[in-house]
Amino acid sequence: MSDFVKRTAAKLNTVFGFFILVVVLFCIKTYIAYQTEFSLGVKGGIQQFLLVVNPIPAALLLFGIALYFRGRLVYWLMILIDLIQTSWIFANILYYREFSDFMTFSVIKGSGNVQNNLGKSIGQIIHPIDFFVYLDVVLLIVLLMTHVIHVDSRPFKRRYALTMTVLAFSLMGAEYGMANANRSGLLTRTFDNNYLVKYLGLNEYAAFSVYQTQKQSSTRAHASASDLQSVKKYLKHNRVGDNPAYFGTEKGKNVIIIHLESFQQFLINYKVDGKEVTPNLNKFYKNQNTMSFDNFYNQVAQGKTSDAEMMLENSLFGLPQGSAMTEYGTQNTFQAAPAILGQRGYTSAAFHGDVPSFWNRDNTYKSWGYNYFFSSQYYKEKPDYSVGYGLKDKIFFRDTSKYLQQLPQPFYAKLITLTNHYPYELDKENTDFPATKTGDKTVDPYVQTAHYLDEAFGEFLTYMKQSGLYKNSVIVLYGDHYGISNNHRPAIAQLLGKKKVTNYDLAQFQKVPLMIHAAGMKGGINHTYGGEIDVLPTLMDLLGVKDNHTIQFGNDLLAKNRNQTVAFRNGDFVTPQLAKVSGTVYNTKTGAVVKPNTVQKKRLAREQNHVTSELSLSDRVIQGDLLRFYQLKDFKSVNKGKYNYKYSNGMQQLKAAQKSKPTSLMAKNHGKVTATYKTDAPELK
């Protein structure tokens, strides 16, 4: 054995030597995970340097805790701390792979309601190589158990342990100073968790997430009516009027909203092997009575579907971390679409073929004023009726039709589809469309479930026409968020027919469809720029509902003088001329990188201020529960206690409602259905 090996072995047989070994191995694997598992958007030498060193301060601090103990306990404490930190990395690898974001304390707190279905797709998410992140933990245990490394029973001097602690905090301070110099306002203005991780590290990000969650709790406790003044001032300055040509044209009609799960705009008119992925949606998109928006963006963050619902029905943004529905849906006061229309004679109902607790819907929908919530307990369940995250769309639409027949009109109904949800699973009996051939197992089946969704919509469209709903309803279709995350760049490039994709391409890839259809409405392709935050004011104006004094951050998409700046939850934005994505400015029309001139810089600064203001003010409304202080003359606060969504209660209330208000399709047809639902779902044959 060489002298070098002997000296190295001797050093490892000391407490401090083992400590250094643990720290080095942990930092190496963390850096490897940064580079291979996460898309952090690292640019320049400073960011590269910070990415290398950011695991070190937290590692010194946390592993240094063990140095205050003695004997064998020191070693096993380090291994235990390593195991806990590694599990945090492992959990984030899986979470990031599906959601393109990092876990927050808000997400963890809501795990019972939100993540209970993650296990359904875990087989697709997890890769055997992921477990290599635990390799150093196993190695350290083996080295100790086989006595390759001997336990040093001598006490480690307290002053040296204290020195490690002080050094750790000093390095954290220096690291934050460098990070803040490179990214001003890192902790005060950031809307993107990627920034926190690449600058400060996963452990510091976790600590900041805990701080943010606790801060949110205290924010509500200290909020007051005066906090609304800045919100009202902003809205008064930025709100635009309605379009007289459309205002009230659909007054009194039913509203049927179809939530197209994970459905992106690029699917419209997209072909695989010469076949249209979505022929039924394509026809609906081009219908002369359908207003279709081709520059409409999803604006969700971690809350994904729940963020989309929050914007759709409240015109409030989702939160930068966690889910507003999960965190605030139970206790907060809202002025949501079901309640607004409910106080104008509408019956409201949400339909969803999954458990009612997912995204805390069973509580949030009460806060929003939904009369009925038809969840999985209202649908027949057989083993082959469900896939992935719930009831298959063809069966869902068929079974939903019988409840729609019984709803007193006019009604406001939201139907949430599920089959086109990651991991895009579908049995062979329902798969009649070719997959794409990108070689990405996550991406390729996406078009198959999208095609199935399209077939299900086609059947439902036929039913609406035959039943009488089609001519007396405003039908709204929208995609809630992306289906293919930015982690699949090579596959996305192939789908778009490009050699590689830029950040600009990925921003444009966030477009989702919005279609608003009504009999007699002048349709066409509308090129205005907008997002999910704008749906509610657009719908209210079509229905003739004055909402001048409501707290809504969107604007009518049909208004002629609207600001077309679309804010993304991370603080980026897009306008018809310029787009700012990950710190780079692009020409929106061409995708070319722009070096802004003086005039453009001033405009970009104004737009950035506008985006930052509306995001932060919307957060203030939700986190402070400010609507509890805001009383409108024509709106009464929702009494959550009068709603009960259990099957027995729901059916009793539905029967009673039909007697007191006999305006449903069945009531008008002497208790008989107005159309027989036809589906080719093989499970029902």
Q: What is the pLDDT of residue 182?
A: 82
Distance CA 120, CA 117 (A): 5
3-state secondary structure of 604: helix
The token pair at 389 is 């995250």
Amino acid 115: pLDDT? 47
Residue 592 CB coordination number (10 Å): 11
| Rounded Cα distance, 299 and 52, in Å | 32
Phi, psi at residue 573, to the nearest 5°?
-160, 165
Kindly report the number of other CB atoms within 10 A of residue 220's CB atom.
16
The domain limits of the chain are: 3-219, 229-669
Judged by phi (left if over 0) then psi (alpha if -120 to 50, else beta), residue 468 lies in left
Beta strands in 210-306 (DSSP E): 254-260, 271-272, 275-276, 290-293, 296-297
The DSSP letter of residue 635 is B
Q: Please spell the DSSP secondary structure of 654-667, one letter per residue.
A: HHHHHHHS--SHHH
Alpha carbon 277 to chain centroid, angstroms: 24
Alpha helices, DSSP H, located in 223-304 = 228-238, 279-286
* DSSP per position, 369-408: T-SEEE-GGGS---TTTEETTEE-HHHHHHHHHHHHTTSP
Convert 305-322 to b/e letters by CB count within 10 Å (16 or more is b): bbbbbbbbbbbbbbbbbb
Which has the closest alpha carbon to 563: 543, 544, 577? 577
Q: What is the pTM of this model?
A: 0.78
Q: Is 44 helix (H, G, I), strand (E, B) or coil?
A: helix
Express each pLDDT in 310-345 by its tens digit.
999 999 999 988 889 988 998 899 999 999 999 999
One-letter amino acid of 596: P
At 340 the pLDDT is 96
How does strand 411-416 pair with strand 347-352?
A: parallel
Kindly report, residue by residue over 262-273, the tens digit of the pLDDT: 999 999 999 999
Active-site entry in 86, 213, 290, 305: 305
Distance CA 461, CA 463 (A): 5
Q: How far apart are CA 292 and CA 511, in angstroms?
A: 13
438-456: b (≥16 Cβ within 10 Å) or e: bebebbbbbbbbbbbbbbb
Give the span between the Cα atoms of 663 and 78, in whole angstroms.
Answer: 69
Q: How do 296-297 and 530-531 pair as beta strands?
A: parallel
pLDDT, position 113? 43
417 is catalytic: no
Q: Which amino acid is at 429?
A: E
- pLDDT score, position 211: 82
Distance CA 84, CA 91 (A): 11
Q: Which residues are annotated as a binding site for substrate?
A: 421
Residues 270 and 587 sit within 8 Å (Cβ to Cβ): no
Which of 190, 189, 312 is CA-nearest to residue 259?
A: 312
Pairing outcome for strands 254-260 and 473-479: parallel
d(C-alpha 189, C-alpha 493), whole Å: 32
Determine the pLDDT at residue 117: 46
Sequence letter at residue 465: K
Contact 413, 348 (CB under 8 A): yes
**CB atoms < 10 A from the CB of 81, how many?**
18
pLDDT for position 6? 59
Q: Which amino acid is at 583?
A: G
**pLDDT < 50 stretches in the chain:** 1, 112-117, 191
| Residue where the block lists tokens 């004679």 | 345
Q: What is the pLDDT of residue 107?
A: 63
Residue pLDDT, tens place only, 433-490: 999 999 999 899 999 999 999 999 999 999 999 999 999 999 999 999 999 988 899 9
| Long-range contact set of residues 147-152: C-beta below 8 Å, sequence gap at least 24 | 149/12, 149/13, 149/18, 150/13, 151/71, 151/72, 151/75, 152/13, 152/14, 152/15, 152/18
CB neighbours of residue 597 within 10 Å: 9
Partner residues linked to 593 by β-bridges: 586
In angstroms, the CA 307 to CA 107 distance is: 13
Architecture in CATH of 229-669: 3-Layer(aba) Sandwich (3.40)
pLDDT, residue 156, reads 87
Distances in Å between the alpha carbon of 486 and those of 250, 490, 508?
Answer: 38, 10, 11
As to burial, measured by CB atoms within 10 angstroms (0-12 exposed, 13-18 middle, 19+ buried), residue 348 is: buried
